[in-house]
Structure 1
Amino acid sequence: MIRYALAIAAIVAPSALPAQATGDLAAVQRHLQSITTMTADFTQTDRNGKVLTGTFTLKKPGKLRFQYEKGVPILIVAEGGALTFIDYSVRQVQRWPIKNSPLGILLDPGRDITRYARVVQTGNDRVVSVEANDPKHPEIGRITMIFARDAAAPAGLALQGWVQLDSQNNRTTIRLANQRFGGAVSDGTFKWVDPRRANTR
């Protein structure tokens, strides 16, 4: 049932919960602060319905990697305060500050999400949905994170994925599976080969 919550959250109109919202938002804050590392399988769906899969790795502070399935010449890595998009098919690299991306919320343990986030209704008591955006910086976009209640996960919540909406209203949905928290992750995981200087990763 939880696997349908992401689809629900992507289309439901945000509505603040009358009860439990404060507690749930605090739990989300604790969850994000307590994660040291996380790995998961991911499924990405873009605005055109195109689906890609791969492996997601996160390490705090400030590191993440989207390793796409074999045959997809794209890599996304965050490290050193920058989010880097690498397209090996055209040997192109784009970089921008991670703080200017909605994904920054996953990487900054010191960020107080209660200042710019709210709990939204999903219709499923086992699911917590939190929408975050900075009204002062609409160009950053909006992210809706979906959590499942799980006593074994950090702060009793397990991140199931998120829906990201950029300033042009382009929607990207990420669904996670096989989440693993607190495992050893080498800093080398976040290294990448610049395609402008080499032909392979």
Structure 2
Amino acid sequence: MTIMRTPARRLLAIRSALAAALFALAAPVVSASAAPEAPAPAANPQIEQAVAALRAITTLQADFAQTDRNGQRLSGVLTLQRPGKIRFQYQPGVPLLIVSDGSALTMIDYEVRQVQRWPIRNSPLGALLDPNKDVARYATLNPTGHPEVISLDVRDPRHPEYGSITMILLKKPSAPGGWELNSWVALDSQNRRTTIRLSNQRYGVALPANIFRWNDPRGIGRK
């Protein structure tokens, strides 16, 4: 079978969009000397439902479609295991891989043999991965006009440079917590937008022990 390679110009745009999305999703870790946070206000019941549904996920696999602000579209398979691990396996012809091992988000570019890593603990993506993250503290409920749709905007107002993530959940009794993560939009501080839409979600799937490992293209070995 012949694998069609993504054109170089398009791949360059994809790399740029992915880097922007990763910066939006993986902000620097706050130092231990940072000032203590004020107590969080009481969360809206829908925010609490959404957070509970996200935390109820143990493992998840889904097909994803990713679109950047220029309309560039990629697809692949997302694998998630809480706490802390996620993998974006892109379609054949795209030599990129994104993996979180629980502490950092890594983008591996096998074509140019480059590896980039960003901390993840204090990022908006922690809403999906970190069971100890107080998502409700930074969450805002967006009106949807539909009782079976929750739109949740997560951003740290003290650090606008971190960007934001807006998650859409749909009511689904068979999903953990009764709500299913349908999509999210990452927006960085430069207003560069990346949208991820999920389909064919499968929960509680058994995952291979090495699925969140990756081969280092720099010849250093397997991580």
TM-score, normalised with respect to structure 1: 0.84
CA distance in 1, matches of 2:161, 2:127: 15
Partner in structure 1 of residue 207 of structure 2 = 185
CA distance in 2, matches of 1:100, 1:48: 28
Partner in structure 1 of residue 140 of structure 2 = 118
CA distance in 2, matches of 1:81, 1:74: 20
Q: Choose the corresponding residue for 2:68, options 46, 68, 74.
A: 46
Partner in structure 2 of residue 195 of structure 1 = 217
Partner in structure 1 of residue 44 of structure 2 = 22
Higher Cα Rg, which structure: 2
CA distance in 2, matches of 1:176, 1:102: 18
Q: Choose the corresponding residue for 1:106, options 118, 128, 136.
A: 128
CA RMSD of aligned residues (A): 1.4
CA distance in 2, matches of 1:101, 1:55: 22
Q: Which sections of structure 1, spanning at least 5 residues, go unmatched?
A: 1-20
TM-score, normalised with respect to structure 2: 0.76
CA distance in 2, matches of 1:128, 1:171: 20
CA distance in 2, matches of 1:42, 1:197: 30
Q: Choose the corresponding residue for 1:127, options 124, 149, 152.
A: 149
Change (3 A) 1:107 1:80: closer
Q: Which sections of structure 2, spanning at least 5 residues, go unmatched?
A: 1-42
Partner in structure 2 of residue 94 of structure 1 = 116
Give the secondary structure class of the aligned counterpart of 1:179: strand
CA distance in 2, matches of 1:47, 1:168: 12
Give the secondary structure class of the aligned counterpart of 1:106: helix
Query: For this pair of structures, how many residues does the alignment match?
Result: 178
Contact 1:37–1:59, Cα closer than 8 Å, also in 2: yes
Among all aligned residue pairs of Structure 1 and Structure 2, give the percentage whose two residues are the same amino acid.
Answer: 57
Using the TM superposition, give the Cα deviation of residue 100 of structure 1 relative to its aligned residue in structure 2, in angstroms: 4.8
Deviations 1:32-73 (A, max 9, x none): 211111110000001111000000000011100000001111
Using the TM superposition, give the Cα deviation of residue 98 of structure 1 relative to its aligned residue in structure 2, in angstroms: 1.0
**Counterpart residue type for residue 43 of structure 1:** A
Query: Which residues in structure 2 correspond to 1:67-82 (within 5 Å)?
Result: 67-82=89-104
CA distance in 2, matches of 1:30, 1:187: 26
Contact 1:100–1:140, Cα closer than 8 Å, also in 2: no
Runs of 4+ in 1 over 2 A off after TM superposition: 99-102, 122-126
Contact 1:66–1:77, Cα closer than 8 Å, also in 2: yes
CA distance in 1, matches of 2:142, 2:102: 32
**Counterpart residue type for residue 79 of structure 2:** T
